[in-house]
Amino acid sequence: MKTYMLILIIICVSIVLIGTIHYLGGRNSQSPEEVNVESEEFRSIKIDAENAYIAQNYTQAIALYEQALDLRPENAEIYNDLGSSHYDLGLKYAGPDWPSWKKDLTGASVKEAYAELDLAIEKTESGYIVLLTDSTKIANAIQLYAEEKGGKVFPHYGNTGTTLNILIGSTKDHLLHARWLYLKSIEYKSTYDAPYRNLGSFYMKIGLRDKAINFLLEAKKRAPGDEELAEYLHQFGGDF
């Protein structure tokens, strides 16, 4: 009787194992040859994307990195590299001047501030506008007005007033998408230093120094031997 029960248990366990193996194998119906071909395709697309990026053909790089993501949808490195392509394309749309427009609105009325922003948007079209004011009322009014105009505002509140960092046009679209892609890269691989460094660069570029340094410090934690990053942080003072 004991022998029979033992055989029965073995048969039941075997059925469960066979079912499990079949289920796991069924989740990947590709043959080893197909997987290898996909890997080769992925590597080829990645190389082409890197070459396009180096050549500053960012639109082509973006298209190729998106193809690579179709093959490896959880690849943190591709998310980061795609983000860098969008970031640099956004800067390209802005042109050589950064900021694209800068004006101190101290003493200006709300109407005058609106007129200045309208002029900045008209002349800039795509880029980075910086408006400074010592009035909370003006700062709040300009932020709402800029957002109504399609801009993205990153205010910086200082001791002497408010700096309104405003992204507009294609520059805004690509830089914000780059930020999202860097965050997705971190989501998939939190130990990867590059997206933290790139987020630091993004926030430094739009005048949010403290937030930028926080991301750069996170990058340094993940790449403590990076002398270039350490030197860059050292320029801002403090014990980094």
Give per-residue pLDDT as tens, 111-131.
999 999 999 999 999 999 999
More confident site: 236 or 162: 162
Cα–Cα dist 50/48, whole Å: 5
Place of tokens 């200082």: 158
Q: Which residues contact 6 (CB under 8 A, 6 or more apart)?
A: none
pLDDT in tens, 62-78: 999 999 999 999 999 99
pLDDT, greater one: 26 or 212: 212
Residue 23 has pLDDT above 90, yes or no: no
What is the per-residue pLDDT across 199-225, written as a single tens digit (0 to 9) for each?
999 999 999 999 999 999 999 999 999
Long-range contacts of 138-147 (CB under 8 A, 24+ apart): 138/105, 138/108, 138/110, 138/113, 139/164, 141/110, 141/113, 141/114, 142/105, 142/113, 142/114, 142/117, 145/113, 145/114, 145/117, 146/117
Sheet holding 101-104, edge to edge: 101-104, 127-133, 162-168, 152-157
Q: How many CB atoms lie within 10 A of CB 105?
A: 22
CA distance 122 to 143: 17
**213/40 Cα distance (integer angstroms):** 38
> Is the confidence at residue 168, as pLDDT, over 60?
yes
SS (H, E, C) 7-52: HHHHHHHHHHHHHHHHHHHHCCCCCHHHHHHHHHHHHHHHHHHHHH
Provide the token pair at 158: 């200082």
- Mention every residue, 6+ apart, whose C-beta is less than 8 A from residue 115: none
Return the pLDDT at 66.
98
**What is the total residue count of the chain?**
240
- Residue 36 has a pLDDT of 52
Contact 72, 42 (CB under 8 A): yes
Confidence at residue 238, expressed as pLDDT on a 0 to 100 scale: 63
User: pTM of the entire structure?
Assistant: 0.83
Mean pLDDT of 125-142: 97
CA dist 193 and 59 (Å) reads 25
CATH class (in words) of the domain with range 101-170: alpha beta
Report the C-alpha gap between 41 and 47 in whole angstroms.
10
Domains of the chain, residue spans: 101-170
At 115 the pLDDT is 98
Q: Which two tokens stand for residue 25?
A: 């194998």
Q: Which residue has the higher pLDDT, 116 or 27?
A: 116
CB 160 within 8 A of CB 132: no
Distance of CA 19 to the CA centre of its chain: 42
Cβ neighbour number for residue 189 with a 10 Å cutoff: 18
Average pLDDT over residues 143-169: 97
